[in-house]
Amino acid sequence: MGKQPAAIIGVGQTHHRAKREDVSMAGLCREAIDRALLDANMTLDDIDAIVVGKAPDLFEGVMMPELFLAEALGAAGKPLLRVHTAGSVGGSTAIVASSLVQAGVHKRVLTVAYEKQSESNAMWALSVPLPFNMPVHAGAGGYFAPHVRSYIRRSQAPTHVGAIVAAKDRHNALRNPYAHLHNEGTTVESVLASQMLWDPIRYDETCPSSDGACALVIVDEDTATSSPNPAWIHGTVMRSEATTAAERDQVNPQAGRDAAAALWKQAGITSPIDEIDAAEIYVPFSWFEPMWLENLGFAAEGEGWKLTEAGETAMGGRIPVNCSGGVLSSNPIGASGMLRFGEAALQVRGAAGEHQVDGARKALGHAYGGGSQFFAMWVVGADKPTS
Ligand SMILES: CC(=O)SCCNC(=O)CCNC(=O)[C@H](O)C(C)(C)COP(=O)(O)OP(=O)(O)OC[C@H]1O[C@@H](n2cnc3c(N)ncnc32)[C@H](O)[C@@H]1OP(=O)(O)O
């Protein structure tokens, strides 16, 4: 038996900030959950199961937080499942939740992902000393900077392309009331003038460290059909690869390419750039936009930066990317993948507010994590898939 149809009928997120000192971890999750349930016109009593995700426990120093969070998540008396795939976890958590509906196990699943990074220091938590390596990298920026340098060398991209992405995403975030950064007047010039952190990644080309959460209500066909504007799931894919294998291409990882090819096939898409109306792609450092455009097949290898430079990834372009402001404007790591998935759902439901792409019918949500070793992605659509 194939997968049963499933759809997202509720999307909720918190206001993201550097420090959400006004709420506990449980309160942060409930803020997102309550908004998602309100959107779905449901209460916790209507929910059959809860799937929670967050990035590594060492980010907050709370081991197995699902134990103490169970009651606040509304899971008492219900199945509760935790997912972990590093930074991609928000995406894979949503996919596990949707799988429970598509497999016919549950009809109404609530999924939530969060990170309260202010409770610890994620940058140093990510500065993991590796055996037989010089201890030269600080944080994810230090880890990914050599991959960005490699991309620039391989693609011959002009060095201002990263600044174009940053200025665009910070501009988009001004239209998203939930975004962490609302920096007026960010321009390509101001980004290029900002401090170099991890060469070639500048301060303004870096995501912030955020507190935040996202929640989705995913339901079966009957429940979705009686909802006013469901976002139907057209395809879901996860792929992994080894972290440190010598043959890895970390600029254009095989797992990401394989996942994208499988996703487009599942969703019946033959030309992603022509058929996807809005893309929410996990871009924590600006150069990952052109890198992932290639990895996902929106552009040929070495050509992704040309789409960015030509303005095709801006609102109104051929493939608007991160109209919400993206990870560059809010990065509660564990929640960031689910935010991408949820924002894609909002676009096809016509519910993205001021950052809505006019007439969006199909959208991509994408997440990656670990050392670019975990990928999770989905395509959602305004119409129920035909097969
Ligand atoms: C798969 C992945 O997700 S990989 C990415 C993982 N995440 C990261 O690596 C996080 C990268 N970012 C950082 O490490 C930090 O935000 C830094 C180094 C850029 C800045 O550090 P700090 O200045 O100590 O930031 P801190 O969190 O204390 O925030 C201080 C202020 O700067 C702002 N801020 C933080 N980062 C940025 C940024 N990149 N651009 C603009 N403003 C920023 C905050 O909003 C805060 O403003 P507020 O006081 O008005 O609330």
Q: Report how far residue 114's alpha carbon sits from residue 13's, in angstroms, rounded to the nearest whole number.
A: 10
Residues with CB under 6 A from ligand 1: 18, 87, 122-123, 139-141, 181, 203-204, 206-209, 284, 331, 333, 336, 369
Walking along the chain (387 residues) 10 residues at a time, the average pLDDT comes out as 92 98 98 98 98 93 94 97 96 98 98 95 74 71 94 98 98 98 97 97 97 98 97 98 91 98 98 98 98 98 98 98 98 98 98 98 97 96 92
Backbone Cα Rg of the chain: 19
Instruction: Give nearest CA residue, ligand 1 atom 41.
Output: 204
**Residue 122 confidence (pLDDT):** 78
**Residue 124 confidence (pLDDT):** 76
Distance 123 CA to ligand 1 centre (A): 9
**Closest of 285, 278, 274 to residue 321, by C-alpha:** 278
**Closest of 24, 12, 84 to residue 51, by C-alpha:** 84
β-strand pairing of 80-83 with 49-53? parallel
Q: Report how far residue 386's alpha carbon sits from residue 100's, in angstroms, rounded to the nearest whole number.
A: 20
Residues in Cβ contact with 163 at an 8 Å cutoff, skipping those fewer than 6 apart: 188, 191, 192, 202, 204, 205, 286
Q: Report how far residue 337's alpha carbon sits from residue 216's, in angstroms, rounded to the nearest whole number.
A: 12
Distance 284 CA to ligand 1 centre (A): 11
Q: What number of residues does the chain have?
A: 387
CA distances from 186 to 164, 181, 258, 341, 382 (A): 10, 11, 35, 26, 33
Residue of 115, 180, 206 to mutate, ligand 1, most atoms within 8 A of C-beta: 206
Q: Report how far residue 311's alpha carbon sits from residue 147's, in angstroms, rounded to the nearest whole number.
A: 23
**Residue 133 confidence (pLDDT):** 65
Handedness of CA 377, 79, 72, 67 (dihedral sign): negative
**Residue 1 confidence (pLDDT):** 62
Handedness of CA 323, 86, 201, 19 (dihedral sign): positive
**Residue 2 confidence (pLDDT):** 83
**Residue 306 confidence (pLDDT):** 98
Query: 107-143 burial by CB neighbour count: b if 16+ within 10 A, else e?
Result: bbbbbbbbbbbbbbebeebbbeeeeeeeeebebbbbb
Q: Report how far residue 144's alpha carbon sits from residue 284's, in angstroms, rounded to the nearest whole number.
A: 10
Instruction: Give nearest CA residue, ligand 1 atom 24.
Output: 209
Handedness of CA 51, 56, 60, 62 (dihedral sign): positive
Q: Report how far residue 341's alpha carbon sits from residue 377's, in angstroms, rounded to the nearest whole number.
A: 8
Residue 92 CA, chain-centre distance (Å), reads: 10
**Residue 58 confidence (pLDDT):** 86
Q: Report how far residue 222's alpha carbon sits from residue 238's, in angstroms, rounded to the nearest whole number.
A: 26
What long-range pairs does 27-30 form, CB within 8 A, spacing at least 24?
27/72, 28/114, 28/116, 28/211, 28/212, 28/213, 29/69, 29/72, 29/73, 29/112, 29/114, 29/213, 29/215, 30/72
**Residue 79 confidence (pLDDT):** 98
Q: Report how far residue 141's alpha carbon sits from residue 349's, in angstroms, rounded to the nearest whole number.
A: 34
What is the per-residue DSSP string for 87-141?
A: BTHHHHHHHHHHHHHHTTS-SEEEEEEEEEGGGS-HHHHT-PPPTTS-S---HHH
Q: Report how far residue 289's alpha carbon sits from residue 221's, in angstroms, rounded to the nearest whole number.
A: 34
**Residue 243 confidence (pLDDT):** 85
Are the beta carbons of 48 and 78 closer than 8 angstroms? Answer: yes
**Closest of 151, 124, 148 to residue 138, by C-alpha:** 124
ipTM score: 0.98
In the chain the domains, ranked by start, together with CATH numbers, are 6-121+208-381 (3.40.47.10)
Distance 16 CA to ligand 1 centre (A): 12
Residues in Cβ contact with 374 at an 8 Å cutoff, skipping those fewer than 6 apart: 85, 86, 87, 88, 92, 238, 239, 240, 255, 368
Q: Report how far residue 100's alpha carbon sits from residue 168's, in angstroms, rounded to the nearest whole number.
A: 37
